[in-house]
Chains A and B, each alone.
Chain A
Amino acid sequence: MGGKHYLPLTEEDRNEMLSVIGAGSVDDLFADIPADLRFKGNLELEPAMSELEVLKHLQQMADKNRHFQNCISFMGAGIYDHYIPSLVSHVTGRSEFYTAYTPYQPEVSQGTLQTIFEYQTMICQLTGMDVANASMYDGGTALTEGAIMGCGATRRSRVLVSRSVSPFYRAVMRNYFNSRGLIMDEIPLRDGCTDREALLNMIDENVAAVALQQPNFFGMVENMNGLANIIHERKALFLVSVDPISLGLLQTPAEYGADIVAGEGQCLGIPASFGGPALGILAAREKYVRQMPGRIAGETVDSEGNRGFALTLQTREQHIRREKAASNICSNEALLALAASVYLSAMGPQGVREVAEQCLQKTSYAREKITAINGFELVFPGIYFKEFAVKLPVSPEDANLHLLKKNILGGVDISQFYPELDQTMLFAVTEKRTREEIDILVGELEELK
């Protein structure tokens, strides 16, 4: 067979196709490409492997990957190693859902539309908002679309974004804003949180929205008290990006007066993969539903009065509104939204609270232990959730190489995003970490001095 059993076409198939189009040979088919540009001779390929050999080979290559399953992870900065109940993949793996294309037609997709509707409902319950859409690509696109909603609702074009918002999200926003003629200005930091005084000086009647992250990129819990008033006095909107797990413990954005809520939903039952695909959460107060991009599944009744589901408020999407569409996103991350729904259903409000509590307790333990090591300094004092920044006595890169040898994925080097934070590593501690694992990390860090 010479390896041809991996190819879908037989020699007979090829000859038949060539004769139909009137080409004598494959060379004839490429006659339009000048002869001197064409490759002559045989490709230097190794002989074909059997299926057994191929699988073994691929497995050997895959085994070189270092990931959450074969390492102890303290990596975060947006993507986290939270526990995924086996129920999640059991449901998302069903062939009715596990498709490359999400069917939205109500005639054939009641199940899919119902899962989207339930996802939206749970996001509203979690955030306290009135409406949520069917999801965006990731936390960055969700926050950016939220900012664009703010510009649409206020008919203003300048958005203030705290520097404590993820640098990845700010990069996405800058990219979108550049091509839309919108302005993004950054609010400086003070002790790892948004500088309120600077915000007060920057905000004026041209500002459409103010965006913060809770907890912020450094894992710090921002003081949201009174911010809504400051922002609403200028008739601007209060946009916040949240870690949904943190909402098991922290105030909901609705409670501190946010108008639009974005967030990264990877922590809700979705594997890290290579940093994506992820799940963009977007929710808002009902007032802004018509500025909302993407899809929204709605509950309705059919002609016989039975409960049913259909996409709603689609008139602002691209296929109808063309260049004036609210967004160029007119799809969603349906399978991952389903994963989040199954995760939230499996955990329940009590379960999410427990995950959040464990994150906080374990982070607290790791923070205390690590910063007790000589030469390891806590960068920002204050209230934290599941991450904290530490200044190392060595370069974060060297530290991570050392840790990796011990099957530990160390924290993210954040000096690359904040030049003023030299040799700084951001550690994330989820509910999955045990005291023993944290002690192993601390032991290895002690070796670095």
Chain B
Amino acid sequence: MNYKVIDGLQYTKKHEWVRREENSAVVGLCDYAQDKLGEIVFVELPDVGTELEAGKSAAVIESVKAVADLYSPLSGTVIEINEELLDQPELINAEPYGEGWVYKMEIKDENELAALMGKEEYEKFIVEEEEK
């Protein structure tokens, strides 16, 4: 497998990741997605305080060849955004699970988090995606 998937995160079928931090969750784009998009040139972030709904567009990621929505994995309010991305959107390419995080949100419904995929399940999922 060529794509990095790390332990301790939850994953969505749209290739977003969530990392739990006490009562909040950090959201980002998976290595798989950043690789498919290519060089990322612009990120449109939600405003702090925006009410997000799981599965609905929360941010827009623009690369040299495509524009993709980042769908919020969870419902809840945005409490922090990664402003570094406004000047350095390529951080998502370089460190999708680290410096390239996108936003932090509150966790409204624990069930939504529990329903996401773990590392192994997601790894299996991207193998299937690749075979399609």
Contact = CB atoms under 8 A, between A and B. Distances in A.
B123 interface: no
A376 B95 CA distance: 73
A290 B89 CA distance: 14
Contacts of B77: none
Contacts of A315: 62-67
B83 to A, nearest CB: 15
A386 interface: no
B4 to A, nearest CB: 25
A234 interface: no
Nearest to B47: A155
Interface residues of B, number: 10
Nearest to B46: A155
A324 B69 contact: yes
A320 interface: yes
A321 interface: yes
Contacts, number: 19
Contacts of B62: 290, 315-316
B80 interface: no
Contacts of B65: 315, 320
B42 interface: yes
B35 interface: no
A320 B38 CA distance: 14
A316 B66 CA distance: 8
A315 B65 CA distance: 6
A155 B59 CA distance: 11
A324 B67 CA distance: 9
B69 A290 contact: no
Contacts of B69: 324
Q: Which of A290, A315, A321, A324 has the most CB of B within 10 A?
A: A315
Contacts of B63: 315
Nearest to B42: A290
A155 B50 CA distance: 10
Nearest to B67: A315
A290 B44 CA distance: 9
Contacts of B50: 155
A320 B67 CA distance: 8
A320 B66 CA distance: 6
A44 B89 CA distance: 70
Nearest to B60: A290
Contacts of B44: 290
Interface string B84-106: 00000000000000000000000
A324 B65 CA distance: 15
B38 to A, nearest CB: 11
A432 B65 CA distance: 49
7 contacts: A290-B44, A315-B62, A315-B63, A315-B65, A315-B66, A320-B66, A321-B67
Interface of B: 42, 44, 50, 62-67, 69
Q: Which 7 A-B pairs have the closest CB atoms?
A: A315-B67, A321-B67, A316-B67, A315-B62, A320-B66, A315-B66, A290-B42
